[in-house]
Amino acid sequence: MKPEIQDAINKQINAELFSSYLYLSMSSYFESKDLPGMASWMRVQAQEEVGHAMKFFDFVNERRGRVILAGIGTPKTDWASPLEAFEDAFKHECGISARIDSLVDIANEHKDHATATFLQWFVTEQVEEEASVDAIAAKLRMFGEHSMGLVMLDRELAGRTASASGADAGESE
Ligand code: FEO
């Protein structure tokens, strides 16, 4: 595995673990607001991000590269509203999508077809990642100040369960 590819993937492992940390922080925020469904949804999301990191981790090792772990940044801890949290999650996912696109560019520059093919799973996954948080943000915008809508959405989001295998990041819902 070329050093440039290895470095870029190691940075992505860090970004995925930071994503997990951010969503766990959002989960804690929702717990503090008595919105257990949203807290649970974010907790599942945090687990899935660890799954994404591990997918990269395994890929580097399979290709006889070396995973180097670095410090994970401090996530934001508070939001003005549930809507602001989901809007932040959407912005964060757009940033992750941009990072995945850059990784594909680097793989292509180095004619590393195995990495480019591996990354296609993430390209597809990011479409779903962006869409799922954006759909929740849209509902929150629609409800506005109506607390009944918030309660109903919270109940709906409580239904999200982790995928069968924690390491299998293949299913987001
Ligand atoms: Fe791992 Fe939410 O992207």
Distance 90 CA to ligand 1 centre (A): 10
pLDDT for residue 136: 96
Q: Contact 6/57 with Cβ under 8 angstroms?
A: no
The average pLDDT across 45-64 equals 98
Burial-class residue 56 by CB neighbours within 10 Å (0-12, 13-18, 19+): buried
What is the atom index within ligand 1 of the atom nearest the CA of 49?
1
Residue with CA nearest ligand 1 atom 1: 49
pLDDT for residue 163: 66
Average pLDDT, the chain: 93
pLDDT for residue 147: 85
Residue 139 lies in a domain: yes
User: Whole-prediction pTM value?
Assistant: 0.91
96 in contact with ligand 1, CB cutoff 6 A: yes
93 in contact with ligand 1, CB cutoff 6 A: yes
Distance 150 CA to ligand 1 centre (A): 25
49 in contact with ligand 1, CB cutoff 6 A: yes
Residue 128 lies in a domain: yes
Residue 166 lies in a domain: no
Q: Which long-range contacts (CB under 8 A, 24 or more apart) does 69-75 make?
A: 69/10, 69/13, 69/14, 70/10, 70/14, 72/14, 72/17, 72/18, 72/21, 73/18, 73/21, 75/18, 75/21, 75/22, 75/24, 75/25
Residue 122 lies in a domain: yes
Residue 149, domain CATH: 1.20.1260.10
Count of structural domains, the chain:
1
**Domain containing residue 131:** 3-69+78-161
Residue 169 lies in a domain: no
Burial-class residue 19 by CB neighbours within 10 Å (0-12, 13-18, 19+): buried
Residue 38 lies in a domain: yes
The average pLDDT across 7-29 equals 98
Residue 172 lies in a domain: no
19 in contact with ligand 1, CB cutoff 6 A: yes
Residue 171 lies in a domain: no
Written as one letter, the residue type at 53 is A
